[in-house]
Structure 1
């Protein structure tokens, strides 16, 4: 075949997996003005025009789409204490890290950290205010747990927030207290907001610069499209932050999902902001139905292991879900609800069961995480067209907490991906980075490995009957993620789509499944242009 003279680039000699079920494999493709105009066997090419790029026999995949991510938070986490192995393996290590930072903290700014998981700490418990006070009582400290649903603060932070023995628990939150009723510094769900709202806000320019710098790191992991599942309209509108980040170098195609709390007070949606062809657009409204399994705030049934009265925390109501859904429908965007426990998932599924969706080109309702759906919930979600966006890295990285909180058999039943797919539910993989106890939380290859093996990082069995094959796992990070995020013209290497793809250093299809986490991205292309090279 031949092609007219335009901005043309021909890629040859690649082992291309396309994520297109109708043409899963190819070894050559032609890109004109950033889009694929031909893909197939190199032997069918009559001549090569334009630039020619030899892919050197390397494995090629479509660019990954992280359907549930927190990019701004991930970018800013680089300036905080990483409370994960190998840096922090104990509360004593954490105290030492805070002390080191406090001695160089001349301006008495807040000290922040992220990622602690008591299951990985040698003391076998979460840090409390008195532990943090050993590091400093003069500078306020705010440390977020791995799940991001819980924080621990020191006495100075409690003082600044006005939290005392007499402070009531906020709705949807819990202030942990000792036997005398004194706050321990551990704040669950909405209770952490009592302190978090006092943290110094970064400027629009600072946030935009952080996102621009993150762009290269995401490309290094093969991620060409992203989402922000905690977008806010105040104090600075995330829409403005991300647009400023583009000018500074952010290249990923990006969908923002705004918190319902922000949108119901100040609607900011409009046709220009929801246009999906734009690099940055608003794709949905986000609510929380519960918390996390590892933090024991997921709304479960039966209760957590050895805690007969602890069913977790319910964080929304049927009335709020219906109000948010009405706003989503009016703006032709998705309703996106965080839910991990059985009761949290049931609330969403039962609220919308049998109701017709309002979007025709994708799911109107998404359940994020969907860790513990019952077989009834799976069937009803399938019948209603509700999609599940899940994170295989959770049980892989947080196995200690899962086993402690659920027990071995119940842990193996979490994230029943095979059952979801068999029922017909649309499912996408994602990372939720940095909200997991892994030093490299955004790495798609770790997530893929964890669900094709159903083994945790320590070798624990996480449920062999729910393994998925490698082809399916890659499709859930590409084609399926596109169908759920609704970003147009990506997710498959097929004619008419953007030429967003990655070149790997190893052939992921010809290696030991338990070594997939060692795969590295050699090159990342967007629109046929090289944007990253290792």
Structure 2
């Protein structure tokens, strides 16, 4: 049965028809869309939109859903409940570790803690000496662990730093409990894994959370095979009712070691597919591991290099062979320059999207901007980082530099293919996956505490919406989503607020009234009653 929606204010994200007032849905796709006075005489359920605003479903071009589903079951070590290491220890002591035998927390940001530092092993030992403890920093690139966890991993004064990683040490050379980048894996590899069924159950719960934010298509930017294959997990979750379509990007090591790039896995019309290969060029700005040319304030750190030109070209050759993207995490200027300079003399292999994507692209140089625009490299920034991690950014870089980061307006003016995203859960905001928070950050360039993030890089609400829908669809190469147009999936959000007319500082408070995926209401109790 067809659904005929009338009396609505529809933003289509289709440049050929930007506004509509009526829409016809059949078989989960849009059969017709336009002005109500031109509505053909279709037969079906007529739904009164009651003048509400409808926008395309949000596409998150860079997130980590399996990690997000997991951490939502852990201790959230960030405001509004945690403001100090002491608060954190109280919460960790109360955590039920019976399922996995480890005490787990996530989301701490030393800039938001009264002590203004990361928790050390001595701190975490006060929560438990008997059970191992892992607390993940907001960026996801750094963890703090207690003595028990260090012992399980066999990390001692004599343990060397792994390639692309760092074990923080005190003045005597003993590990402090803070592990950066690849050093995390020394402990994380010992963490008992959830069963396949447990992960799928958590993903089903996450699907509803994402729908409540209006997110209808997603990506997985750190897919791997061991101990459980991510694509298998998403496919099983979809069989059981996970609603969002998923583009997965596998880490380079997994692609090297397993036969993943089969025709079936690369089918972009499927509900879950492989979109590309992922590498890391550096770490994070807030964690002081981004690869930068000028040292971070108050020290000599210049970040951690995590890849090379040779590795980038080797991964690109495989991506080109299979017609998929190469995506590279890079925040610091040196990390971005490495990627851009590596590919500037090479030839792009995709004609419908960027062959190479730079994830985050926090501080590109003028040269990198010029070369990226000319070559066709895509940028996927997250302005939410500045919005909620402002304390760390100011401490590490200062205000003047911070105001130039994640310069979306500059990217657009340069003609660089761009998409907004959340990187959830890797930022210090309880609702990191909420796209309206990122939109507000990009539009206002104001942090949550009122800090001016650089007005020159503001974009319009219309641009933010486009970067989260149609442009995100192009960035991840997902078919028939991101716009409300004939032949596309009927993925859309019903809002009670008109995001194009409300005060910009209220965008983060926008809540979907209802979310539809393939024409079916997956969130909200729609009062848009159908009549026959």
Q: Confirm or deny a common fold (TM above 0.5).
A: yes
Describe the SS at the equivalent of 1:199.
Answer: coil
Alignment of 1:447 with 2:438, yes or no, is yes
Alignment of 1:235 with 2:223, yes or no, is no
Partner of residue 171 from structure 2, selected from 179, 183, 207: 179
Q: TM-score, normalised by structure 2?
A: 0.97
Unaligned runs of 5+ in 1: 1-6
Q: Deviations over 1:460-500 (max 9, x none)?
A: 01111000011000000001000110100111111111111
Alignment of 1:113 with 2:105, yes or no, is yes
Aligned counterparts of 1:481 and 1:467: Cα–Cα separation in 2: 19
Aligned positions, number: 525
Aligned-pair CA distance for 1:506: 0.9
Partner of residue 500 from structure 2, selected from 509, 520, 527: 509
Aligned-pair CA distance for 1:505: 2.0
Aligned counterparts of 1:498 and 1:43: Cα–Cα separation in 2: 23
User: In the TM superposition, what are the counterparts of 1:171-210 in structure 2 within 5 Å?
Assistant: 171-210=163-202
Alignment of 1:281 with 2:273, yes or no, is yes
The aligned counterpart of 1:259 is 251
Partner of residue 472 from structure 1, selected from 451, 463, 477: 463
Alignment of 1:498 with 2:492, yes or no, is no
The aligned counterpart of 2:348 is 357
Partner of residue 134 from structure 2, selected from 126, 130, 142: 142
Describe the SS at the equivalent of 2:126.
Answer: helix
Q: Give the conservation status (yes or no) of the 8 Å contact 2:100–2:192.
A: no
Aligned counterparts of 1:74 and 1:254: Cα–Cα separation in 2: 14
CA spacing shift, 1:366–1:108, aligned 2, 3 Å: closer
Aligned-pair CA distance for 1:217: 0.8
Aligned-pair CA distance for 1:267: 2.9
Q: Deviations over 1:306-355 (max 9, x none)?
A: 22x21100100111101111111111110010000000000000000032
Partner of residue 393 from structure 1, selected from 377, 384, 387: 384
Q: Give the conservation status (yes or no) of the 8 Å contact 2:419–2:475.
A: yes
The aligned counterpart of 1:3 is none
Q: Give the conservation status (yes or no) of the 8 Å contact 2:369–2:414.
A: yes
Aligned counterparts of 1:404 and 1:197: Cα–Cα separation in 2: 32
CA spacing shift, 1:106–1:18, aligned 2, 3 Å: closer
Q: Give the conservation status (yes or no) of the 8 Å contact 1:149–1:188.
A: yes
Aligned counterparts of 1:337 and 1:483: Cα–Cα separation in 2: 17
The aligned counterpart of 1:430 is 421
Alignment of 1:411 with 2:405, yes or no, is no
Alignment of 1:64 with 2:58, yes or no, is yes
Between 1:490-499 and 1:163-172, the stretch displaced more is 490-499
Aligned counterparts of 1:176 and 1:422: Cα–Cα separation in 2: 41
User: In the TM superposition, what are the counterparts of 1:341-352 in structure 2 within 5 Å?
Assistant: 341-352=332-343
Between 1:104-113 and 1:467-476, the stretch displaced more is 104-113
Aligned counterparts of 1:362 and 1:342: Cα–Cα separation in 2: 24
Aligned counterparts of 1:480 and 1:235: Cα–Cα separation in 2: 34
Aligned counterparts of 1:376 and 1:267: Cα–Cα separation in 2: 37
The aligned counterpart of 1:131 is 123
Aligned-pair CA distance for 1:105: 4.1
CA spacing shift, 1:97–1:433, aligned 2, 3 Å: same
Aligned counterparts of 1:134 and 1:184: Cα–Cα separation in 2: 14
Describe the SS at the equivalent of 1:320.
Answer: helix
Q: Give the conservation status (yes or no) of the 8 Å contact 1:354–1:383.
A: no
Q: Give the conservation status (yes or no) of the 8 Å contact 1:254–1:279.
A: yes
Describe the SS at the equivalent of 1:515.
Answer: helix
Aligned-pair CA distance for 1:247: 2.0
Alignment of 1:87 with 2:78, yes or no, is no
Q: Give the conservation status (yes or no) of the 8 Å contact 1:213–1:249.
A: no
Aligned-pair CA distance for 1:108: 7.6
The aligned counterpart of 1:16 is 10
Aligned-pair CA distance for 1:46: 4.6
Aligned counterparts of 1:46 and 1:138: Cα–Cα separation in 2: 70
Q: Deviations over 1:183-222 (max 9, x none)?
A: 0000000001100010001111111111111111111000
Aligned counterparts of 2:322 and 2:194: Cα–Cα separation in 1: 30
Aligned counterparts of 1:107 and 1:223: Cα–Cα separation in 2: 30
Q: Deviations over 1:149-204 (max 9, x none)?
A: 00000000000100000101011000000001110000000001100010001111
The aligned counterpart of 1:340 is 331
The aligned counterpart of 2:28 is 34
Unaligned runs of 5+ in 2: 526-532
Alignment of 1:292 with 2:284, yes or no, is yes
Q: TM-score, normalised by structure 1?
A: 0.97
Q: After TM superposition, which residue ranges in structure 1, 4 or more long, deviate above 6 angstroms?
A: none
